[in-house]
Amino acid sequence: MSFTIATLLSAALQVSSAQVSNLPGVFEATCLDGQARLSANDVSQITFDQLPPALQASLGRPASGNVWQLNTAGHAYLYVLDYGDQPGMSPKVCGLASDTMDFRSASDRLEMRVAGSVDRNKARSAQWLNPKDGYVATATSAAQFKVLQINWLNEADRAAALAQVQDLSSR
């Protein structure tokens, strides 16, 4: 399930107006399926530096990437960022941050998608590792924003995670 930046970018700019109000669906279609179709009326491309400072700080300093502001109520941003291939770092990140998204339902939807069930006792922030497909899915917050994010693992980290899972399953 490894996507290239080009795949995500070409997919990200083509969800109908009815779908853009479904932010978890936009996230899922873009970051997990690579099949979002956003019209020019639904999104405006911005620079990373135009993100709110608290959100920028939580994302670090990517080497490159693309950021879009979604034309929805409140403030919502879709981003696909490239950090380069460095040990222990996610080389690519795809996420959606919104100040109006219903965090509980968005987090539950992501958990159902990546884990197959919803744990009602989970903490407010949660992460799910999928070494087979090579990513960590995260539902968290950054300042006033609720964030859904996929951090793609580099090959070394993916291999290490797969080895750990295999070791645990053989016990």
pLDDT at 62: 95
Percent of the chain with pLDDT over 90: 55
CA distance 72 to 23: 9
Strands (E), 58-171: 64-70, 76-82, 92-98, 126-130, 135-142, 145-152
Quick one: 129 exposed, middle or buried, by C-beta within 10 A (0-12, 13-18, 19+)?
middle
Domain spans in the chain, listed from the N-terminal domain onward: 5-169
DSSP 74: S
**pLDDT tens digits for 107-131?**
999 999 998 989 888 778 899 999 9
- For the entire predicted model, the pTM comes to 0.84
Cβ contact 29:12 at 8 Å: no
What's the mean pLDDT in 127-146? 92
